[in-house]
Structure 1
Amino acid sequence: MFLVLSGIATGLSCARDYRALQLGPVSKVAPIDKLSVALVIVFGLLFLGERPSLPLLIGGGLIVAGAMVIALF
């Protein structure tokens, strides 16, 4: 069941990305798409009881910082 739900979510995500790329430039769409990884980290910490570790926090921070650099410059 989770595999099917994951497949559906992935398909919807790809369709959303394709539509976003039709509406805007890649330089603005790609950083927003990459923030989904950081959002999953936050959800895991808040709702799933994941324990924060230094590598997790550093990695999440680097993902957000990289997306901001790409989006702003």
Structure 2
Amino acid sequence: MNAETLWSWQVWAVLSAVFAALTAIFAKIGVADINSDLATFIRTVVVLIALSAVLFATGQFASTGPISTRSWVFLVLSGLGTGASWLCYFRALKLGPATLVAPIDKLSVVFVALFAVVFLGERPSLNGWLGIALIAAGAVLIVWKK
């Protein structure tokens, strides 16, 4: 059994959220005394090294077949989006408190839902839309100034 099927997608999603939360805390501390773009570069190098080690250790660098042009295009676009997101996120952490930056960053959940409807044809349920609206409202409430 491989790591992808070891646990459900929900477990992996919760772990992603935990690591993202730790990332915000560690990044806020780490970016305090250096340029935010340099901090993003350092983080990127660490991610590249760590992921390479995982791929080598698990034998996943072995070719599983050709990668289509479509896959390459969208993975490159995804990488560019990730890079832009990280640059903006680290700049925001450099300038603002993590307790305000992170909730605004989580508005990405709202944007994902909207983009998934437009570009992927997904249709969230009524409960899904309610949850998405609550995430948006929560982010607004957290940053609201009286």
Aligned mates of 2:111, 2:84 — CA distance in 1 = 17
| Residue 108 of structure 2 is aligned to residue 69 of structure 1 | no
Aligned residues: 72
Residues in 2 aligned to 1:22 and 1:3: alpha-carbon distance in whole angstroms:
28
* CA RMSD in angstroms, aligned pairs only: 1.9
Q: Distance in 2 between matches of 1:12 and 1:52?
A: 27
Supply the distance in 2 between the matched residues of 1:30 and 1:69 (Cα, whole angstroms): 13
Partner Cα distance (2:124, 2:103) in 1? 24
Q: TM-score, normalised by structure 1?
A: 0.74
Paired letter, 1:4 = V
Per the TM alignment, residue 35 of structure 1 is displaced from its structure 2 partner at its CA by: 0.6
- Answer with 1 or 2: which has the greater Rg: 2
Measured after TM superposition, the shift of residue 18 of structure 1 is 0.2
Higher relative contact order (CA 8 A, sep 6+): 1
Which residue of the partner structure matches residue 93 of structure 2? Answer: 21
Runs of 4+ in 1 over 4 A off after TM superposition: none
Q: State the alpha-carbon separation in 1 of the partners of residues 82 and 139 from structure 2.
A: 21
Pairing of 1:1-73 with structure 2 (within 5 A): 1=72, 2-45=74-117, 47-48=118-119, 49-72=121-144
Deviation at 1:72, TM superposition (A): 2.7
Give the gaps of 5 or more residues in structure 2.
1-71
**Which protein is richer in helix relative to its size?**
1
Among all aligned residue pairs of Structure 1 and Structure 2, give the percentage whose two residues are the same amino acid: 54
